[in-house]
Amino acid sequence: MDRVALCLSALCLATAVLAQTPDIFSYPTTEAAREAWEPQYGSPPVRVERDEDGAPCIVMEGDLKASGDRLCWDWVGSLDLSASDAVSLEVRADNAGVAQNLGIYFGSGEGWYPRFWWGGAPDTWTQRTFHFDEFGVEGQPAGWGSISRFRFSLWGNGPGHVVFRMRNFRAVAGDPNRNFLRNGSFEAPGPLPIAWGSGHWGVGNLPWVADMDLWRRHFSLDRAVARHGQASLRLLNPSGFPRLNAVSAWFTLPAARAEAYTLSAWLRSDRDGLPVTMTCAEREVTAKVGKEWQRIVLGGIPPGENHSVVIAPQESGTLWVDAVQVQRAGADTEEYHPHTDEGALIAREAAVDWSPPRRIPAVAAGRVTRGPLTAAPVSIDEHGRFLVGGQPYLMHSLGLEFVSDLKVLDLVAAAGFPDVCIEIRPGVSTDTLKSYFDRCAQLGMRIIPWLNSGLPMDLFRQHIETLRDHPALLCWYVYDEPSGEGFAIANEKLALAHELDPNHPALINYLASKLTEHMGDIYSTDIYPIPHSTPSAAIQGVAVMAEGASRERKPVWMWLQGTGYAYWMDREPTPRELSCMVYGSLIEGARGIYYFAQFPRTKEHWAEMRSLCVELKALEPVLGSLDRAPSVRCATPGVLTASFRYQGATWVLATNTRPEPCEAELRVSDGSRRAEVIFEDRVLPVAGNAWSDSFGVYERHVYRLRR
């Protein structure tokens, strides 16, 4: 039995299912399901599908016509959930990115218990457990013992067809020793511990960014040492290096469950007396850790959202961390209790493909950006193309929330990025900002200064007046994610940037809840879906922006997820997930890609970024061409395509947005004899304007067709 199977067998009792509850997603036929399920708000009726094992599921699908459109289905019947603590179900979705918000409801009496489902939905079968203490109240529900309806509802963020499948509805008994922390025993497989990092987005400091293998040797899973299960987290902190901590992703402690909670962890060191501080929600305890496993306990943690555990060695040495859990005060245990969905998390991550898309070694080796820069005018033409020196320009930028040392910029250029986007906070002086500009000009990188929303107007003005003629300047990023009163401030700063520097575009980056009517010269948003949703969530955001941007003759830029293991993002995108988001965004109309933020932690993700630097630079003139391109069609579900005409050849971009491999036939409207697969050194025959190719999980291909 392999390690994952051992882990799953150890976690099989994480939730106790109450067998008497009917499975509201299991019906022998579509006709039987439609007797129990009522479509709402004009939604199509449900249908029944069966998987390869013959197990049934309910399929809810429909077409969303615009942002805010709603699809909704009600199961009508009787459920007594009074003996339960939660319900679980398995879900998978196609094109879930068009749904900006999901909700499940239980109707009871004259009201509802609603639970809005943040983070989207996956495109592989995934178990989700919803505890009753996470639900709100609408109207006057009569209690969990008299449920008369179950509702699933979604709201769109733009047009598109969406499919949700659900199966295995179960009522779950309460666990008096429930653990609220994900992956506290580090059993989920992957290159790094899921839902744990060393704090902050990515890595931004030396010596780590100069040698991320060094960082990975100091922060790693240890599958030879464990207090529980098969693995632990190892922190290696030798003298002379910045100390690394273990920091969990966010979790919520519901007030309805307890007045206080207790955090515990099993720790072990390579020496006696290593001082270690453990904190959560401003509570703290310090203990001396020795060579034998010992349990450290911190009580009095209040309820709240966005809690995080920090385990911080105070001196040099090696520390192993295992069996971390947060439980109700008085219900904490020495025995490890897996998080409710820990078994599902392990199964999901065991199926993740961390290999890169197919490409030749020369592309995988990356490129280097070399300077110095020469001054060139920046403009946006009547077609909405972003131009530098009069030529179409594809912005491709590593995002940095801070620059700890100018050598960090050297490393960004050495990775091949033509641009860098840097957040400029109030503590950064104009002289310091100029040093960033000067170094970028030397290196050959253009810079997008992201002027923090808290920047005072006088400093905002000073930055622009001082640097508006600098050759490294690409554009001004004047405000990030406005909301409420922030919209007026953002618009004021946008107008001031235009007044002070009419020769460079200026943009506002908006939240994903506002994908239309962007006030800046460039449409821009950020969507970070991995691993809670799918690449299509980001791609759909581009599609919605592109519709409005096309009418307004504006470019579309897209922030994509370049890091993880922090806050709510349990891990980074895999190379294939990242590549799919990039190519899907380009296909839907993006002509600028930036990655949030700092250097990624996994070797696989960084290697993919470097390869994409080669590919996007090669595609820059193709994507900017105004030549009329033939149409391209592909009937395979989930394969996105776009065509371009450049230097007498037809170019086709295609990406598989699904987690399964597929075979696809692509067809263009003009005649060609062969299709060169760019970046892969392959050639495919074209017959009758069509050719066939295989696509791996989330894989992209670029074709050049000649007559």
Residue 207, preceding peptide bond in cis (omega within 30° of 0): yes
What's the gap between Cα 86 and its chain centre? 27
Residue 508: strand, helix, or coil: strand
* Radius of gyration from C-alpha coordinates of the chain: 26
Distances (CA, A) of 569 to 201, 578, 596, 673: 9, 14, 12, 46
Helices (runs of H) and strands (runs of E) counted in the chain? 12, 43
**Positive or negative torsion for Cα 210, 538, 616, 391:** negative
**What does the alpha-carbon distance between residue 283 and residue 299 come to, in Å, rounded to a whole number?**
8
Cα separation values, 539 from 544, 614, 680, Å:
9, 21, 24
C-alpha span between 608 and 599 (Å, rounded):
12
Which of 569, 131, 113, 84 lies closest to 340 in space, CA to CA? 131
For 119-152, the DSSP string reads T---SS-EEEEEEGGG---EEE---TTSEEEEEE
Cα(3)–Cα(186) distance, integer angstroms: 12
pLDDT for the residue numbered 121: 81
Q: Strands 662-668 and 632-634, how do they pair? A: antiparallel
**Residue whose C-alpha is closest to residue 93's, from 127, 60, 45, 47:** 60
Segments of the chain with pLDDT less than 50: 1, 3-14
> What count of residues does the chain have?
707
Partners of 328 in the β-ladder: 261
Closest C-alpha to 158, from 232, 73, 63: 63
**Burial of 37 (C-beta count, 10 Å sphere; 0-12/13-18/19+):** buried
> How far apart are alpha carbons 592 and 589 in whole angstroms?
9
Strand partners, 128: 89
CA 44 – CA 48 distance, rounded (Å): 13
Closest Cα partner for 450 from 414, 417, 470, 420?
420
The alpha carbon dihedral of 352, 355, 359, 363 has a sign of positive
The letter for the amino acid at 26 is S
Order of strands across the sheet that contains 196-197: 196-197, 246-248, 309-313, 274-280, 283-289
Domains and CATH numbers, the chain: 17-172 (2.60.120.260), 196-344 (2.60.120.260), 361-620 (3.20.20.80), 632-706 (2.60.40.1180)
Q: Which amino acid is at 360?
A: I
Task: Name the phi and psi angles at 673, rounded to 5.
Answer: -100, -30
Please classify residue 41 by burial: count the beta carbons closer than 10 Å to its beta carbon, then call 0-12 exposed, 13-18 middle and 19+ buried. Answer: exposed
Cα–Cα–Cα angle for 279, 281, 282, rounded to 5 degrees: 70
Distance CA 651, CA 702 (A): 7
Q: Give dist(CA 207, CA 238) in Å, integer.
A: 13
CB 251 within 8 A of CB 301: no
Strand-pairing partners, residue 197, are: 247
Distance CA 536, CA 242 (A): 38
C-alpha span between 703 and 8 (Å, rounded): 42
Q: What's the confidence (pLDDT) of residue 21?
A: 87
What pTM did the predictor assign? 0.94
pLDDT at 9: 43
> Distance from first CA to last CA of the chain, Å, rounded?
55
Are 210 and 53 in contact by the 8 Å Cβ rule? The answer is no
User: What φ, ψ does residue 659 adopt, rounded to 5°?
Assistant: -85, 10
CA 574 from centroid of its chain's CA atoms: 10
Q: Tokens 């992956």, residue?
A: 183
* pLDDT at res. 119: 66
Mean pLDDT for the chain overall: 94
Cis peptide before 231 (omega within 30 of 0): no
| Cα–Cα distance, 580 to 130 (Å, whole number) | 30
Distance (Å, rounded) from C-alpha 297 to C-alpha 246? 16
How many Cβ atoms sit within 10 Å of the Cβ of residue 452? 18
Distance CA 386, CA 397 (A): 15
Question: What is the Cα–Cα distance from 255 to 252, expressed in whole angstroms?
Answer: 9
Say what the pLDDT of residue 51 is: 82
Torsion of CA 178, 181, 182, 187, to 10 degrees: -80
The SS3 of residue 293 is: coil
Task: Say which amino acid occupies 238.
Answer: P
